Amino acid sequence: MQLLLIAYLLRVFLAITALDTKIPDGFLLTTIDFISDLNKSQWAYGFFRKDINKRLSFQFGVHRVNGTVDTLTIERGFTFFAPNREYGLRFYNLGGSFLNDTLSQPMMTRSIGVFLLNKFRDAYQVDVAAYFESYPDITESCDMVGPRRQKVYDAVVSLY
């Protein structure tokens, strides 16, 4: 048991020093990946190490059968969908996953759209737009510079 825990700490050390990237592809790496995925020893601890001023925000346009369009954002979503802070907080990570995983972006958008269509029974179409936002630093904030916003993805999920 002691050896196992020592090996575990060694794996943590390899992960935080990025030495595990030096291990050549093959059986050894696959085995290490498999074990470290089970106990999360491959996790590189960051705590806001980078990109804190950037985020991905979502905007949903919910088209209803009576002709109105409700615009929901992640910020409004926190209070609109989330009964508690812990749940709302996780949207921040959803943005990160969305940005990093370009392959699943269309599927994730579709999934979110379908979820909203199920939630709003009188809606027939949902527009999902993802915006990449960066916020001003201290100096820019003194100069009254606002956040920069750029649309990175949009899609329409429709019932018909």
Best CA proximity match to 157, nearest among 121, 122, 114, 119: 114
| The two three-digit tokens of residue 144, written as one number | 């009254």
Residue ranges in 100-139 that form contacts with another protein under rule CB under 8 A: 101, 104, 107-108, 111-112, 114-115, 118, 135, 137-139
Where are the alpha helices (H) located in 1-101, listed in sequence order? Answer: 2-16, 27-39, 74-81, 85-100
Closest to another protein by CB, 60 vs 63, is: 60
| The two three-digit tokens of residue 152, written as one number | 């990175």
Residues 53 and 26 sit within 8 Å (Cβ to Cβ): no
Among residues 70, 72, 81, 148, the one that binds another protein under rule CB under 8 A: 81
User: Which residues lie near another protein (CB under 8 A)?
Assistant: 1-2, 4-6, 8-9, 12-13, 16, 34, 37-41, 43-50, 52-53, 55, 57, 74-75, 81-87, 89-94, 97-98, 101, 104, 107-108, 111-112, 114-115, 118, 135, 137-139, 141-142
